[in-house]
Amino acid sequence: MKRFSSIIILWVASIAAVRAQYLTDAIRVYDNFYKGTARTAGMANAFSSLGGDLGSVAINPAGIGVYQSGDFSFSLGMLSFDNKSTFYGTSYTETGYQFDFPSIGLLINRKLDASSDWKSVNMYFGYNKLNNLNSMFDIRGFTSNTTLMNEFVSYANASPNSLDSYFEQLAYNIGILNFDIINNKYFSPYTGIPLQMQRSMETSGSLGEYSFGLGGNYNHQLYLGMTINVRSGYYEEVYHHTEIDVDNQITDYSYTFNYQLMTWVSGWNAKFGLIYRPIEPLRFGLSIHTPSVLRIRQEMYTTMTAVDDNGSRFNEVPLDNLNNKLGNFLDHYTFTTPFRTVVGVSYLFGERGLLSVDYERANYSRIKVTSADDVGAKNATNDDIKYYLHATNNVRVGGELKLNSWYVRGGFAYYQSPYKSGEVNENAHTYVYAGGLGYRSKSFVIDFAYTFMQRSENYYLYSDPNLYPAKLENGVGSYVLTMGFRF
């Protein structure tokens, strides 16, 4: 796919835009910011050695084997956004709310012969959300020597006889990209003048997995589990980029470039895990997530509007060589993600509570584009993945305090930036702060959790050596309520 930017990845002049989009999607489809249930969320999902909760299955399927009864639970939630952008000294905060559906699951327990070392075999069906992509930013600032049209001019002069219908040709048709017949090159009147720049952008959607799993309990000491997972997701990126001639130096007052990208993700993987209890209070967990094969389908559309000094408005849509309207631009490609390993340890303080720690290793540099409509971009993106990304070390810590039938929880998680040392976003780490409450009886469970996810990163609106990045501070609060029924 050609010429896409993103709120996730730094856009630099050395990366062709098609490769930038593939690289952005590679990170998105491999990220796992587990949602789970309110209990797992309240402990920052430090659950690889615990199990016994349907939210833990996405982390370590051995949690299926820990159950000694059947269970059905579902979770409902609400997301709150508090996102701040700073661009050329101007700061702006965007807030909002959105409904969320983190998980639902059913576990069927079958007890075996009491004389057998295998105590039970359990079957699981469920859905867990892995990555919530909802976000919104409004970037505003005043610039003097940079414009999105500089990027358009660069691409137009690189291929003067084949302007892209969704980008340069739009600007040329509407009159903000012009051709100098004397010097035989394209230029824009927006170059080199003071501008008021604004980009409002929103990403919506999520990635999750539907799972079928089996788990077993060997002598209440070793718990094994596996799941087959169908990964599915949809997300949409929309932005509106506006530039205004603040000093009235040209005949145009402003223009707006509108961009929409829709992405469908489908694929599968498997997970295998064990939980070992050498002594009553101590548990160790290990989970291996196999590579995922993920098929990506994308549709992109752009439009442009311009307003002159008299207030007249002009609209332009993509056209072919015969001036017929074009539909969405289509692209298809396939990712194969690498193995993911999770290990954990937990200690149970009798009936008083527990502490749990997880360590997760995810190697982003081993993601691979295995097929694509644009073969050249596929090969170049694989080189970029190896050059820009590295393996991450993620840590989750959580605890639970029991007060009769009530529970108090807290946790913290650190997800390392996938960018190598020396890259602009090498410090774009993600931090999660969590807390929650719960009530449990023999047959009924209700839990509530609040988590706050925080990340700061640099974002380049387009490719231009004169452009400074916007600083984006992303804060997402998540309220989760889970109700469960044991049988």
In the chain, domain spans = 17-486
pLDDT band at 244 (very low <50, low <70, confident <90, very high): very high
Write down the pLDDT at residue 114.
86
Write down the pLDDT at residue 22.
85
User: Quick one: what percent of the chain has pLDDT higher than 90?
Assistant: 91
Write down the pLDDT at residue 282.
98
For 185-221, strand residue ranges (E) read 185-187, 195-218
Write down the CATH number for the domain with range 17-486.
Answer: 2.40.160.60
Residue 20 has pLDDT above 80, yes or no: no
Alpha carbons within 13 angstroms on the beta-carbon side of residue 147 total 28
pLDDT band at 321 (very low <50, low <70, confident <90, very high): confident
Write down the pLDDT at residue 17.
52
**Mean residue pLDDT across the chain:** 94
Write down the pLDDT at residue 487.
95
Write down the pLDDT at residue 110.
96
Distance (Å, rounded) from C-alpha 417 to C-alpha 432?
13
pLDDT band at 19 (very low <50, low <70, confident <90, very high): low
Question: Taking residues 408-435, what's their average pLDDT?
Answer: 97
Write down the pLDDT at residue 11.
33
Write down the pLDDT at residue 374.
86
Write down the pLDDT at residue 159.
92
Residue 3 has pLDDT above 80, yes or no: no
Write down the pLDDT at residue 18.
56
> Is the whole model's pTM more than 0.75, yes or no?
yes
Kindly state the DSSP code that residue 115 receives in the 8-state scheme. T
Mind giving me the DSSP string for 227-257? EEEEEEEEEEEEEEEEEEETT--SSEEEEEE
Alpha carbon distance, N-terminus to C-terminus of the chain: 50
pLDDT band at 172 (very low <50, low <70, confident <90, very high): very high
Q: Which two tokens stand for residue 71?
A: 């269970």
Show Cβ contacts of residue 404 under 8 Å, excluding neighbours closer than 6 positions.
none
Q: Which two tokens stand for residue 476?
A: 């997402």
